[in-house]
Amino acid sequence: MAKKKAWGGRFGGGTDRFVEEFTASIAYDSILYRHDIAGSVAHARMLGKQGILPAAEADRIVSALREIRKEIESGKFSFDLAQEDIHMAIEQRLIRKIGPVGGKLHTGRSRNDQVATSLRLYLRDEVDEVLALLSRIGGTLVDRAGELFGVVLPGYTHMQRAQPVLLSHHLLAYREMFARDADRFAEARRRMNVSPLGAGALAGSTFPLDREFTARELGMDGVCENSIDAVSDRDFAADFLYACAVTMTHLSRLSEEMVYWSSSEFGFLSLPDALCTGSSIMPQKKNPDVAELIRGRAGRAYGNLLNLLTVMKGLPLSYNRDLQEDKEPVFDSARTVRECLSGADLLLRGMKVNEERMREACDDGFLTATDLADYLARKGMPFRKAHEITGRIVRHCEERGLRLKDVGLKELRKFSRLIGEDVRDAISLTNSVRLRKTRGGTGPDPVRARLAELKKK
């Protein structure tokens, strides 16, 4: 049997070793030490302010907590499985440092509201880091779109060549995705930035706590209004995990394109040697491992979200020990999304574009077929009829191994007398892109305008 715990007064003996190992979270929740100490400092100051503790004792507790933080950061702090979690580890160290006064810190507080506060503070910091990374990758996309302005590549639907687009426009599509991700994280931050401190175990406290004071001390926007909800709510963590999952979806799509665009079959771009690896048997290989791992780690983010939702779905109010299982998925997703945003940013900065190969791919096919149909529609032909005639022209070309631009005017006029000399301009690659001037389109004018707008931001 292990030694008795801080809560062991009601128990007749020590905890079974299996239970001690099975229930301990100190191995992973020690990451919360800064946030636990911040919450404890705010709580101690409030106890002193309210006269619940003598001011001198509150000051002594705050000073000792700051020393403990330095001990942890310098590697001098000794963690022990018997401490259960980071919260008890810090409290026990506090009592060893300053004696029984340290035991007064927990006055008017439960581990339930303490843990919930620490996790909210941790996630707030993580969101701020993720927002900075999203801003950086968004800026990289804008920079690269500006550098590569004018490069044309095939746009795809159903993985079939569809219409020519500016590469800048394609890159800015990801910038829009990451901007939405930033909105999701910012909204999650708003909802998580309220304080559970003072909720106690579930019912509040008999002490005259000033909950608004501790919220202000922690830079929070307010307090949780229901003590039961305060200790049992993990919606804020689910919000964070959902935002991570969607961000990883976007990173995975970007990585997927980098993987196949850098293949010999496409040859649209090359990735830096420093961000690729080789084969243990095939000397010629250059594998896009960073992009592949980003793509693969999206599954972890999805699993972490489902993990937490599954934990939460059947819990009665209020706190249950199941909620200990919220932390590992949260910590893993936070680390994963940060690392993958950094990796994707490096890939975008380092990739070299093969402009000639992209343009060749636009010429090799029927990417301006829609422009031919539009041309006929502008001549007065109903678009459905124009679509049918253009489809017949495409089939004619396929049967003869021709590209659309290779078909002579005389041959084209067999399909419609509306086709004239001006058809060449209408179906040229340059005009196909240039004429798409609608807001949000791939034409140089709207893309240039969007770039200017984004650079101002």
Catalytic residues: 158, 279
* C-alpha–C-alpha distance, residues 185 and 124, integer Å: 10
Residues 454-457: contacts with CB under 8 Å, at least 24 apart: 454/138, 454/142, 454/172, 454/175, 455/142, 455/146
Read off φ and ψ for residue 421, nearest 5 degrees. Answer: -60, -30
Half-sphere exposure of 90 (CA within 13 A, CB side): 34
> Is the separation of the CB atoms in 378 and 167 below 8 Å?
no
Would you say the C-alpha torsion 168, 171, 175, 176 has a positive or negative sign?
positive
* C-alpha–C-alpha distance, residues 51 and 377, integer Å: 82
Residue with tokens 């049967």: 399
* Three-state helix/strand/coil letters over 154-181: EEEECCEEEEEEEHHHHHHHHHHHHHHH
Cis peptide bond N-terminal to 63, omega within 30: no
Q: Is 303 helix (H, G, I), strand (E, B) or coil?
A: helix
How many Å from the N-terminal Cα to the C-terminal Cα in the chain? 61
Residues 50-59: contacts with CB under 8 Å, at least 24 apart: 50/207, 50/208, 50/209, 50/210, 52/107, 52/108, 52/207, 52/208, 52/209, 53/104, 53/107, 57/101, 57/104
* C-alpha–C-alpha distance, residues 317 and 294, integer Å: 38
Query: Which candidate, 428, 423, 410, places its Cα nearest to that of 375?
Result: 423
Ranges of beta strands (E only) in 271-374 are 352-353
Read off φ and ψ for residue 352, nearest 5 degrees. Answer: -115, 130
DSSP H or E stretch at residue 136: helix 111-147
> Is the separation of the CB atoms in 423 and 412 below 8 Å?
yes
- From residue 225, give the alpha-carbon distance in Å to each of 197, 203, 213, 231, 441: 11, 12, 15, 11, 47
